[in-house]
Structure 1
């Protein structure tokens, strides 16, 4: 027997159906970003801020980029996530992708207009440090 303070079973467990409302623990959004889960985009579509940040100032897009999820980066950007949002250490998503040497994410961020000269160190400086070059930004 459970009391009012004990959570019941997850109504979405074992189903692929999307309920009308999902209980949201915002901390789980960061785990979804790290994992590259498309479910994150559904939460953003349902009202989660696409520029949500954690205690280190890492945005959802920053975590998706750092962990190599180019399509999720594109999806978040399409929903208003700032591709140049710096974390509390002054790092940009593009610099993180350059550090991780993830060409797919680098290309996605550059195509989305990420600035290679923001942050500390900048993505350009990070690329130079590792003997890499950045793709050219598209002309607007």
Structure 2
């Protein structure tokens, strides 16, 4: 296992002390990508490793870096409904309106998966509710399609 693979394995396991140790010896790991194009920050958010994600941000991980599908860490936490980390990312400069390769924004992800608290946070940070994905659908369109009435009420 090379240093990058070991680093990603350590992130997945949630061992913050070992993450710190590895970054001390090899600071360039903070923005290395794995075979799927994930950055350490995206990977940490995907696995719900909030403390590691915050540490990586403090160590200057590129906050709006994208994976092979164009997804950012913010998109991942919105997909999962992690509002604490959503707010943390936004407070540290994450772009609330970036879209992935299919035009999906953090707000659209939140609406697709009925993550109402994430929707509220994103709207607070001026998410563009008129943005359309590659299918021409807005966040409101997804909320309506899925009968997520609370989100529909927020967006109308």
- TM (norm. structure 2) is 0.71
Tell which has more relative contact order, 1 or 2 (C-alpha 8 A, sep 6+): 1
Which structure 2 residue ranges, 5 or more long, are not aligned?
34-38
Equivalent residue number for residue 127 of structure 1: 143
Which structure 1 residue ranges, 5 or more long, are not aligned?
none
State the Cα distance separating 1:71 from its structure 2 match: 0.8
- TM (norm. structure 1) is 0.78
Over alpha carbons, which structure has the higher Rg?
1
The 8 Å contact of residues 127 and 134 in structure 1, kept in 2 or not, is answered as no
2:24 is the alignment partner of 1:21: yes
Q: Which structure has more helix as a fraction of its residues? A: 2
CA distance in 2, matches of 1:81, 1:33: 13
User: What RMSD, in angstroms, separates the aligned Cα atoms of the two structures?
Assistant: 3.0
2:59 is the alignment partner of 1:46: yes
Equivalent residue number for residue 36 of structure 1: 48
Alignment of 1:1-140 (within 5 A): 15=17, 18-19=20-21, 21=24, 23=26, 24=29, 25-26=32-33, 27-38=39-50, 39-120=52-133, 121-131=137-147, 132=149, 133-135=152-154
State the Cα distance separating 1:119 from its structure 2 match: 2.6
